[in-house]
Amino acid sequence: MAPSDYLQRFWLCFAIFGTVVILLAAGIYVVETLPPRRIVMATGAQGGAYHELGIRYRQLLAEAGIELQLLPTTGAIENLMRLRDPRSGVDVGFIQGGTTTQKESPGVESLGTLFYEPLWFFTRISGSRTEGMSGRRFSIGPEGSGTRDLVLQLFEKNKIAAELLGLSPDVAAEKLIAGDIDGMFMVATWDSPVVQQLIMAQGVELRSFPRADAYIQLFPFLNRVVLHEGVADLATNRPPSDVVLVAPKASLAVRTDLHPAIQYLLLGAAVEIHSGPGLFRKAGQFPAAESIDIPLSDEAQRYYKSGQPFLHNYLPFWIAELVARVFIVFVPVALLLYPLFKLLPRTYDWIMRSKITPLYNELRSIEREMDAQGSGHAADAIVARLDQLDQRATRLRLPTSYASAAYMLRSYIDLVRQRLAMSADRKPH
């Protein structure tokens, strides 16, 4: 085989091999970039509002084939710490407004705010201001809770010196009802069982924040909400008057490397869970495209602007993701390989014809020699060359579509033989 044949075959094999490698790599990339089937959510104490919400998120994500593992924590601060730590395995969690900054948490982003979390102050101390609170015993939540972090800031601003206990809400409520402590602070939703228990408890008063506007100016992450007279129980008029509360907003936070498709799933679940009306919110108010402490993720910004991806409106989650990934990966690959696919048939045709063309050229060379030197000159040598050329044509291994060219060549060889024989017969003896 001539060196040019080896080169031709090499380039053909290289093109085919390269195409296979590119397609295989694209397929592997599609599989590797599909969403994970399991994620971890940091919630809060079991039985608390965060944990109960986590259960609802788990149910909704399970419908899409995603397992959401709930990790109980002491509260928003621990949730944030776990989100900051890439080794914790936590992908998503609830955090309380005012607990961090973008600089402190560069690897964490928000999917938006979800609801108000009022700061409840239940106490046995009469009065509407902070006088008389110094020296008393208050529960401000355990270490790692958002309640503790917020109350410590407020106590510092008010210069209150009191005995601060790190009790869980349910334990603190029992001690407050029993008179063992003077008051308790708790950041929680209206639906919290502890809130419902204490607002109806005898001897326990829900304290209003008369300087709520001042707190909001000092702490911009706070909001003013009002619990109106009689909301808890119209028959007994609980609470007996309007109560002004300050409330941070809870956000759904994720690690920046969480798969975009999972973020869209979480946003869809957030809409289903939090968009309805409530005591402190209007229908459709939440989830909201607000970045209180940390920026909104790119996916959240797109979701609030345009909704979920087009395919997710019509296809099941995993099928939509697979179709989207295939489209994203294989369209550029197809554009890349199109010139190669277009070139391959031409290359193949060139290789096949290059096996036959040299034989045709040699036959034409023999004919030119016959014309130049005379048909009878060196007839035996020409016959030998024709026989050799015929054998080479017979040994060619060609696909059926190119076999006719070989048969045609052999026919031309026979014609040259006949011409040579006729010339020999006409030669005078």
Q: Is 8 helix (H, G, I), strand (E, B) or coil?
A: helix
> pLDDT tens digits for 117-153?
999 999 998 765 666 788 899 999 999 899 999 999 9
* pLDDT band at 2; cut points 50, 70, 90: very low
> pLDDT tens digits for 204-253?
999 999 899 999 999 999 999 999 999 999 999 999 999 999 999 999 99
Candidates 56, 114, 118; CA nearest to 285 is 114
- The predicted pLDDT at position 279 comes to 92
Tell whether the model's pLDDT for residue 318 goes beyond 70: yes
Mean pLDDT value across the chain? 86
Q: Which residues contact 65 (CB under 8 A, 6 or more apart)?
A: 37, 317, 318
Half-sphere exposure for 209 (CA within 13 Å, toward CB): 24
| 55 vs 36: CA distance, rounded Å | 19
Q: Is 284 helix (H, G, I), strand (E, B) or coil?
A: coil
Pairing of strands 223-227, 205-206: unpaired
* Residue type, position 185, single letter: F
- The predicted pLDDT at position 127 comes to 66
Q: Which residues contact 131 (CB under 8 A, 6 or more apart)?
A: none
Tell whether the model's pLDDT for residue 426 goes beyond 80: no
Bigger pLDDT: 351 or 302? Answer: 302
Tell whether the model's pLDDT for residue 339 goes beyond 60: yes
**What is the DSSP secondary-structure string of 174-196?**
HHHHHTSSSEEEEE--TT-HHHH
| 268 vs 289: CA distance, rounded Å | 13
> pLDDT tens digits for 3-52?
445 555 665 676 677 677 777 776 776 667 788 999 999 998 888 889 99
- The predicted pLDDT at position 368 comes to 82
* Residue type, position 422, single letter: M
Contact 146, 248 (CB under 8 A): yes
Contact 176, 204 (CB under 8 A): yes
Distances (CA, A) of 367 to 156, 362, 420, 422: 110, 9, 10, 14
Contact 79, 254 (CB under 8 A): no
**What is the DSSP secondary-structure string of 26-77?**
HHHHHHHTSPPSEEEEE--STTSHHHHHHHHHHHHHHHTT-EEEEE--SSHH
Contact 102, 293 (CB under 8 A): yes
- The predicted pLDDT at position 359 comes to 83
| 348 vs 282: CA distance, rounded Å | 69
| 303 vs 323: CA distance, rounded Å | 19
Pairing of strands 92-96, 249-255: antiparallel
> Taking the complete model, does pTM exceed 0.75, yes or no?
no
Contact 308, 261 (CB under 8 A): no
Give the chain's domains with CATH numbers.
118-247 (3.40.190.10), 338-426 (no CATH)
Tell whether the model's pLDDT for residue 389 goes beyond 60: yes
> pLDDT tens digits for 279-297?
999 999 999 999 889 999 9
Rounded to a whole number of angstroms, the CA Rg of the chain reads 41
Distances (CA, A) of 63 to 18, 98, 315, 322, 415: 41, 33, 13, 17, 78
| 264 vs 39: CA distance, rounded Å | 14
Highest mean pLDDT among 3-17, 193-207, 384-398 belongs to: 193-207
Element housing 403 (H / E): helix 400-426
| 121 vs 187: CA distance, rounded Å | 9
